[in-house]
């Protein structure tokens, strides 16, 4: 079964600084990978996803992520963060060989952007 | 109006009480899900439904039951609430069919069991 590890529970950063949120996964088969964002008092919304093709995926709000199969990673990056990026970010994985691609979520990384 | 609506937004109850959390959607999606979120544990799948006649257990279904009253409605029940069911509960939908599922989440129900 697949699993996801988000090693950083919290990442503090100053406004306009770059940020990387780390995600590693484990699976014996091919996977699809996702990043979801949860703003305060809201549900999760999809930030970006990797299905196939180019390993660099661009999402909403200037975020991007790179799929690295050899390192089983899917790190999320943004070159310059804003206060409004303060939120919790979840990496998720689903296996490609099942009829129902159940999503398995990581434990989340809280991004704290300060002025 | 929100596409996926959960009621109530907050609920405090006592151990042993029966609780129902409701979810309705206007997205026209066939698939609906219930997740719970606990600090440090992320989201875990409780139940999911592909249509009105199809209900499936997720990874943590013990102590919970669900009802898919219509395509647009999916409720989660705790027959006898216990304190470790204190969590943030999310309903989600997806369009189904082939391909990778994109989930659309409600705003959540914060449940506290005393």
pLDDT of residue B39: 85
Residues of chain B in contact with residue A49, where contact means CB-CB under 8 angstroms, are 100, 102
Q: Do A43 and B106 touch (CB under 8 A)?
A: yes
A73 or B42, greater pLDDT = A73
Instruction: Give me the pLDDT at residue B40, please.
Output: 83
- pLDDT reported for residue A94: 86
CB of B100 within 8 Å of any CB in chain A?
A: yes
| pLDDT recorded at residue A51 | 87
Note whether A102 contacts B44, CB cutoff 8 Å: no
- CB-CB contact of A31 with A94 (8 Å): yes
Q: Do B43 and A105 lie within an 8 Å CB cutoff?
A: yes
Q: What is the DSSP letter of B64?
A: -
Query: Is the pLDDT reported for residue A80 higher than 60?
Result: yes
pLDDT at A73: 96
Residue of B nearest to A48 (CA): B102
Q: What is the pLDDT of residue B100?
A: 63
| pLDDT tens readout for residues B22-66 | 999 999 998 999 999 998 888 999 999 988 999 999 989 999 999
- Out of A43, A94, A101, the one facing B108 most closely (by C-beta) is A43
Q: d(Cα B48, Cα A92) in Å, to the nearest integer?
A: 17
Write out chain B residues lying below 8 Å of A101, CB-based. Answer: 100-101
Query: What value does the mean pLDDT take over residues A32-51?
Result: 91
**HSE, side-chain direction, 13 A CA sphere, residue B6:** 27
The 10s digit of each residue's pLDDT in B78-99 is 999 999 999 999 999 988 765 5
Residue A28: predicted pLDDT: 84
Question: Which residue from B37, B23, B32 is spatially nearest to A88, judged by alpha carbons?
Answer: B37
**Tokens found for residue A111:** 């991004």
Is-cis flag, bond preceding B17, omega within 30? no
Supply the mean pLDDT for chain A. 92
- Give the angle subtended at the CA of A95 by the CAs of A90 and A96, to the nearest 5°: 125
Whether A35 has its CB under 8 Å from any CB of chain B: the answer is no
């Amino acid at each position: 079964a697949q699993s996801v590890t988000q090693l950083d529970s919290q990442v503090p950063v100053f406004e306009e600084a770059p940020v990387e949120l780390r995600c590693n996964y484990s699976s014996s088969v091919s996977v699809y990978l996702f990043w979801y964002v949860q703003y305060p008092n809201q549900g999760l919304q999809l930030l970006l996803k990797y299905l196939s093709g180019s390993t660099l995926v661009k999402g909403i709000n200037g975020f991007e992520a790179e799929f690295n199969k050899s390192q089983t990673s899917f790190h999320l990056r943004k070159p310059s963060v804003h206060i409004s990026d303060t939120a919790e970010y979840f990496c998720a994985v689903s296996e490609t060989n099942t009829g129902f691609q159940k999503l398995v979520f990581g434990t989340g990384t809280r991004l704290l952007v300060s002025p | 109006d929100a596409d996926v609506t959960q009621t109530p937004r907050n609920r405090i109850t006592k151990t042993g009480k029966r609780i129902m959390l409701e979810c309705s959607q206007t997205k026209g999606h066939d698939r609906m899900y219930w997740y719970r979120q606990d600090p440090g544990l992320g989201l875990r799948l409780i139940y999911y439904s592909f249509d009105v006649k199809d209900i499936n257990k997720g990874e943590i279904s013990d102590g919970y039951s669900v009802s898919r009253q219509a395509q647009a409605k999916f409720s989660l029940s705790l027959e006898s609430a216990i304190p470790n069911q204190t969590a943030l509960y999310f309903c989600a939908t997806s369009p189904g069919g082939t391909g990778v599922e994109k989930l659309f989440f409600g705003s959540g129900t914060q449940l506290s069991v005393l």
